[in-house]
Homo-oligomer: A and B are copies of this chain.
Amino acid sequence: MRRPDARPLYVQVEAILNARIVSGDWKSGQALPAEPELAAELGVSAGTLRRALARLEQRHLIERRQGRGTYVTQQTSEQALGQFFRVRNLAGMPVEPETLITGVATGPATEEEGAKLRLQPGETVHRIERSRVFEGEPRIAEQIIVPAALFPGLSLPLAPAQLATEIYVHYRNAHGIIVVQAEENLSATAASEADSAVLGCAVGTPLLLIERVTFDAAGRPVELRVSRLDTRSHRYAVEIA
């Protein structure tokens, strides 16, 4: 006998609606049914439904358009950058990065990668090497590691016209992976010879090291990312409230 679900009702409703989006049952950009119909279908009150919708909205999975209804978020590069890219110039303004992919390789996960991505030892991962260029200058040297099982084929947008597309938009469009959350650990490190070659700085230059684990709407870790930011003319911005 299954135990009854002990979570608050609005959390259960959130999980049901979350699953419809993640499964593609409700597609990117699609309008949700009107609230009274949806509440009736799920057998919950208008208040419970609204509370669940508010949580999905907070997680950027749906968006309300004033007077027009509620839609599954159609993630654009601008939205992905606004949410996940915290680099500012010295005037405090957001920068628009270009991205240059310099290598893609496939192989077994290291122990550390496996632990962070919750993989079995030796499971296959794709590793993407890239640099991010601000105003013509490479400022971030980056390695992205993703489980091959979640990203079969990993058909990366390598054509120049597509380099402006945020990779999280590609994850969603090509692999159905919806990125909603990330945890980062920041530290300082000295530029290696490899960093020096990519970033054009002296070996030993202090760099901001950003280690990110990214989670999808189902709460799975889907990406590990190690970024080395040259902070001679850029900053990483944090707001605490």
Interface members, chain A 152-211 (any B CB < 8 Å): 180-190, 204, 206-209, 211
User: CA–CA, A188 to B195, complex, Å?
Assistant: 14
Task: Please classify how large the interface on chain A is, using the bins under 10, 10 to 19, 20 to 34, 35 or more.
Answer: 20 to 34
Which of A24-32, A121-129, A233-241 participates in binding chain B? A233-241
User: CA–CA, A239 to B185, complex, Å?
Assistant: 9
* Residues on the B chain within 8 Å of A235, using CB: 185-187, 211
Instruction: Verify A236–B186 contact, CB threshold 8 A.
Output: yes
> What does DSSP make chain A's interface, helix, strand, loop or mixed?
strand
* Residues on the B chain within 8 Å of A189, using CB: 188, 206, 231
**Identical copies in the complex:** 2
Known contacts A204-B204, A206-B206, A206-B207: does B240 contact A187 (CB below 8 Å)? no
Contacting residue for A236 out of B92, B180, B181, B187, CB 8 A: B187
Contacting residue for A188 out of B86, B211, B231, CB 8 A: B231
Which of A182, A206, A207 counts the most chain B CB atoms within 10 A?
Answer: A206
User: CA–CA, A222 to B166, complex, Å?
Assistant: 37
Q: Nearest residue in B to A234 (C-beta to C-beta)?
A: B187
* Residues on the B chain within 8 Å of A84, using CB: 240
Q: How far is the CB of A47 from chain B (nearest CB, A)?
A: 12
Instruction: Verify A187–B204 contact, CB threshold 8 A.
Output: no
* Residues on the B chain within 8 Å of A183, using CB: 237-240
| Contact digits for A118-153, partner B, Cβ 8 Å, 1 yes 0 no | 000000000000000000000000000000000000
